[in-house]
């Protein structure tokens, strides 16, 4: 949609919704932040004892990004059923991480970050390679969410790009700063319920207006390829989506911090339930894309298919529902990214690298300063409007997929060699990026993970390390 096109929602209503939910998130964040002992562990990991409901909801809400609500319908519109399925397969990352999460909790009951694990398991050089990969990925992820906030709020309600971006980042920063991980996890619970309930309402109302048999009949006659289960591009995208999501989840501190924050008895179940619950979101939003295709709805910009459909079928009420879903999706992802990345920097860089003698209070203060610093950095990097947000994120798929095997092997296999891990991450990233440029963006993660696996297995077989897993527990 061009910047000067009419918004779906009147700016007055949009501002009222923004103020209502911003006040709610900030107030709840501050109240929840006052619970607990108030030490660094409490601030960074919510007291390490959260139950199944909050653990599942925070995984689900953090994984529902602005992309899930807008890119999945675009996938459905462009690629049909396989577009929906391939996006939904990203939930596999959470499900496959479940057994690893249990292992992490068992090996590192007092651990704080994914960086802790890499440093203790493979040494400082591997840690540097890992930190570069996670920094590039996290900054790319933060930027896509920030730019997405500016663009979406502009398209939905006519907000200025910069105003929308500042509002969303500002709200997420304030409650994360004051409430820490408790605020993030508590608001995630409400945000996940809000997202799922409103999406279900939009989908049910949309299919009441345009019944499924009619959608199917129109697709069969005009776009049969969208219903083809053997669509070659769809199969390739599905593989890439699954491997990309594994790379994202296996390496990123968002998910490791949830492991450390959760009660040991709920870790496995929460990752499986969170992944399964998440999978239904892109399937439902993707199906809205199919309705738009069946109706031959004129679209100036395909990634706006979800709000266009909601506004077209349900009027101003539909636009308001989409606005709330998008606002909740963006804040729930941004707060998780800010909190867990701040924890990673405070623990791994400030405490372990720069000031090992820092007190608990200083560590907590460092984590708070990192939240503010990351927000300012994200705003600065996202201030100039860039096009093609998806390509920024796809680019990082080549990097993160290279960490899957070093992480998995390092957790279970005592022979996993530190040099093999370093070369696996470097070579996997290099080959994945080459595939991204020379073949196609959706091949990047597949090549990266394949090369990384071969290097990891061959290198560790050739020179087994014989790692003592007790060192993970002793080192933190």
Residue 289 or 307 with smaller CB distance to another protein: 289
d(CA 98, CA 59): 11
Least CB distance from residue 427 to another protein, whole Å? 35
Residue 281 binds another protein (CB under 8 A): yes
Cα 130 off chain centre by: 18
Could you say whether residue 249 binds another protein (CB under 8 A)?
no
Nearest approach, Cβ of residue 48 and another protein (Å): 10
Of the listed pieces 97-105, 139-147, 275-283, 412-420, which binds another protein according to CB under 8 A?
275-283
Nearest distance from residue 458's CB to another protein, in Å? 36
184 binds another protein (CB under 8 A): no
Burial 50-85 (b: 16+ CB within 10 A, else e): bebebbbbbbbbbbbbbbbbbbbbbbbbebbbbbbb
Cβ nearer to another protein, comparing 199 with 433: 199
Sign of CA dihedral 447, 133, 189, 327: negative
φ, ψ for residue 301, nearest 5 deg: -140, 120
Closer by beta carbon to another protein, 40 or else 450: 40
Span interacting with another protein, options 21-29, 279-287, 298-306, 395-403, rule CB under 8 A: 279-287
Which of 214, 251, 223 is CA-nearest to residue 127? Answer: 251
Least separation in angstroms between residue 113's CB and another protein is 21
The one among 54, 181, 308, 431 contacting another protein by CB under 8 A: 54
Q: How many CB atoms lie within 10 A of CB 4?
A: 6
- The only residue of 89, 169, 177, 196 in contact with another protein, by rule CB under 8 A: 196
Burial class (CB in 10 A: 0-12, 13-18, 19+), 232: exposed
Under the binding rule (CB under 8 A), the answer on residue 222 touching another protein is: no
Q: Cβ 116 to another protein, closest distance in Å?
A: 23
Close Cβ partners of 100 (under 8 Å, ≥ 6 residues apart): 250, 407, 408, 411
Residues contacting 160, CB < 8 A, separation 6+: 154
Question: How far is 101 from 80, CA to CA, in rounded Å?
Answer: 34
CA-to-CA distance for 325 and 202, rounded, in angstroms?
10
Q: Does 47 bind another protein (CB under 8 A)?
A: yes
Q: How far is the CB of 36 from another protein (least distance, A)?
A: 8
Is 426 near another protein (CB under 8 A)? no
Is 210 a binding residue for another protein by CB under 8 A? The answer is: no
Least Å from the CB of residue 441 to another protein: 24
Angle at 273 between CA 270 and CA 275, to 5 degrees: 105
Check binding of 227 to another protein (CB under 8 A). yes
What is the binding site for another protein (CB under 8 A)?
35-36, 46-47, 49-54, 56-57, 60, 81, 182, 189, 192-193, 196-197, 199-200, 203-204, 207, 212-213, 215-217, 220, 224, 227-230, 263, 273, 276-277, 279-281, 283-284, 287
């Amino acid at each position: 949609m061009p910047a000067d096109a009419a918004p779906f929602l009147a700016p007055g209503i949009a501002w009222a919704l923004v103020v209502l939910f911003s006040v709610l998130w900030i107030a709840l964040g501050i109240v929840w932040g006052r619970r607990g002992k108030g030490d660094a562990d409490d601030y960074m990991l919510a007291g390490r004892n959260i139950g199944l409901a909050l653990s599942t909801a925070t995984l689900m809400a953090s994984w529902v990004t602005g992309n899930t609500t807008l890119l999945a319908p675009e996938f459905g519109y462009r690629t049909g059923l396989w577009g929906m399925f391939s996006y939904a397969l990203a939930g596999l990352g959470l499900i496959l991480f479940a057994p690893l999460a249990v292992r992490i909790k068992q090996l590192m009951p007092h651990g704080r970050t994914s960086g802790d694990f890499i440093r203790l398991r493979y040494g400082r050089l591997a840690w540097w390679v890992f930190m570069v990969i996670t920094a590039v990925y996290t900054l790319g992820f933060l930027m896509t969410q920030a730019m997405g906030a500016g663009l979406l709020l502009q398209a939905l309600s006519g907000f200025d790009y910069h105003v929308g971006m500042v509002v969303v980042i500002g709200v997420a920063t304030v409650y994360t700063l004051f409430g820490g991980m408790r605020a993030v996890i508590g608001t995630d619970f409400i945000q996940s319920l809000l997202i799922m309930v409103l999406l279900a309402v939009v989908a049910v109302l949309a299919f009441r207006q345009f019944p499924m048999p009619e959608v199917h009949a129109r697709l069969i006659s005009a776009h049969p390829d969208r219903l083809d289960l053997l669509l070659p591009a769809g199969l390739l995208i599905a593989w890439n989506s699954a491997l990309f999501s594994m790379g994202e989840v296996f390496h990123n501190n968002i998910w490791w911090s949830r492991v450390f924050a959760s009660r040991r008895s709920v870790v496995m179940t929460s990752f499986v339930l969170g992944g399964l619950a998440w999978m239904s979101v892109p399937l439902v939003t993707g199906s809205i894309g199919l309705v738009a295709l069946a109706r031959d709805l004129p679209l100036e910009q395909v990634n706006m298919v979800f709000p266009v459909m909601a506004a077209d079928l349900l009027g101003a009420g539909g636009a308001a529902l989409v606005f709330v879903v998008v606002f909740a999706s963006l804040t729930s992802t941004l707060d998780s990214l800010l909190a867990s990345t701040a924890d990673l920097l405070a623990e791994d860089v400030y405490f372990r690298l720069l000031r090992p003698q820092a007190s608990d209070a200083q560590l907590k203060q460092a984590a708070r300063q990192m939240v503010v610093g990351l927000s300012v950095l994200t705003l600065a990097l996202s201030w100039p409007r860039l096009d093609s947000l998806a390509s920024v994120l796809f680019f990082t798929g080549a990097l993160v997929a290279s960490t899957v095997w070093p992480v998995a092997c390092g957790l279970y296999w005592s022979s996993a060699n530190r040099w093999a891990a370093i070369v696996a991450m470097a070579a996997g990233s290099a080959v994945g990026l080459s595939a991204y440029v020379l073949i196609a963006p959706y091949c990047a993660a597949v090549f990266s993970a394949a090369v990384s696996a071969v290097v990891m297995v061959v290198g560790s077989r050739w020179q087994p390390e014989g790692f003592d897993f007790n060192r993970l527990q002793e080192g933190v």
